[in-house]
Amino acid sequence: MKTTQELVGKRALVTGGTRGMGKAIVENLKAKGATVVTTARSEPEEGTTADLFISADIRTTEGIKVLTERTLDFLGGIDIIVNNVGGSSAPAGGVLALNDKDWMEAINWNLLSAVRLDRNLLPAMMQQKYGTIVHISSIQRTLPLFDSTLAYAAAKAALSNYSKGLSNEVAAFGIRVNTVAPGFIQTKAADAMIERLQEKYGSYEQALQELMSSLGGIPLGKPGQPEDVAELVAFLVSDRAKAITGSEYKIDGGTVPTI
Ligand SMILES: NC(=O)c1ccc[n+]([C@@H]2O[C@H](COP(=O)([O-])OP(=O)(O)OC[C@H]3O[C@@H](n4cnc5c(N)ncnc54)[C@H](OP(=O)(O)O)[C@@H]3O)[C@@H](O)[C@H]2O)c1
């Protein structure tokens, strides 16, 4: 991890910063000098490297309200928002297994949480004529896996589209908005899944290979690490990326076979 102090004085909110990519993003921004607030539904047992942890469920309007008020109160403004929260809890079984509740959950979790948070925090950025926002999407926005994550994939596609539209609208206020679309990233949760699949496939290596094959293969031969995503996000929110807005960066080891 680069430890240049290029984010000193910057005030950041990273959602979902207690595990996986969010945790790595918090650590990277902190290492570069930013003051960082993070949120999750449950407080991490091992503590957090963030300057402030706020317990909130950002699928709810109440959670967004608490998060916005406490963040602005603590930071006195906002320069960086990383909308990292997202996920899928839909059952397997294809499209007919998904009901309205599953679809609304996916849309709330992966799209509306970011829309609501941006809407609450944008006035502060617009007033200071400076800010940068990153939305964490997924390669599934163009490469949907149909069995258990179709609603998730569709919600991430909407997030990517929303991110582009927002970037056009707020560019005149000096605010940059970009999207990062990860492929298979080896978080602890992904590792736990590989370990569970070991029983079926005989070894950890074979289970990993099967998972990569289910995505059509990863040309670089291995999944990415949370720190890889954090490094890309840290670049995008820094002034080194001052000419970049409305862009989407895949970070997938080459998984998506098209440009
Ligand atoms: N891992 C991958 O391979 C992969 C690939 C493509 C895209 N992504 C996307 O990347 C992002 C991060 O994924 P990840 O795998 O690093 O996630 P993760 O390991 O499951 O961690 C998710 C984080 O978000 C928090 N969180 C979840 N729901 C929340 C809610 N409703 N309100 C507040 N906090 C919430 C979690 O804490 P609590 O549970 O305590 O709330 C945790 O801190 C997600 O948007 C995901 O869709 C992941």
Structure tokens at 136: 């964490």
pTM of the model: 0.97
CA torsion sign for 81, 83, 192, 218 is negative
* pLDDT computed for residue 63 by the predictor: 98
Q: Is 13 exposed, middle or buried (0-12, 13-18, 19+ CB in 10 A)?
A: buried
Is 152 a known active-site residue? Answer: yes
Q: What is the pLDDT of residues 140-155, one digit of tens each?
A: 999 998 888 999 999 9
* pLDDT computed for residue 146 by the predictor: 80
* Alpha helices (H) along 100-249: 100-107, 113-128, 150-170, 188-201, 204-214, 226-237
* pLDDT computed for residue 1 by the predictor: 52
* pLDDT computed for residue 3 by the predictor: 66
Q: What is the pLDDT of residues 119-145, one digit of tens each?
A: 999 999 999 999 999 999 999 999 998
Could you tell me the distance, in angstroms and rounded to a whole number, from the CA of residue 20 to the centre of ligand 1?
Answer: 7
Out of 15, 85, 108, give the residue to mutate to test ligand 1, the one with the largest number of ligand atoms within 8 Å of its CB. 85
Ligand 1 pocket, residues with Cβ under 6 angstroms: 16-22, 39-42, 56-59, 84-87, 136, 138, 182, 184-185, 187, 189-190
* pLDDT computed for residue 21 by the predictor: 98
Per-residue burial over 17-43, b if 16 or more Cβ lie within 10 Å, else e, is bbebbbbbbbbbbbbbebbbbbbbeee
What does the alpha-carbon distance between residue 152 and residue 50 come to, in Å, rounded to a whole number? 28
pLDDT along the chain (259 residues), means of 10: 84 98 98 98 92 98 98 98 96 92 97 98 98 98 90 98 98 98 96 90 95 95 98 98 98 96
Q: What does the domain layout of the chain look like in residue ranges? A: 11-185+225-251, 186-223
Out of 14, 19, 104, give the residue to mutate to test ligand 1, the one with the largest number of ligand atoms within 8 Å of its CB. 19
Secondary structure (3-state) at 200: helix
CATH of domain 11-185+225-251: 3.40.50.720
* pLDDT computed for residue 45 by the predictor: 87
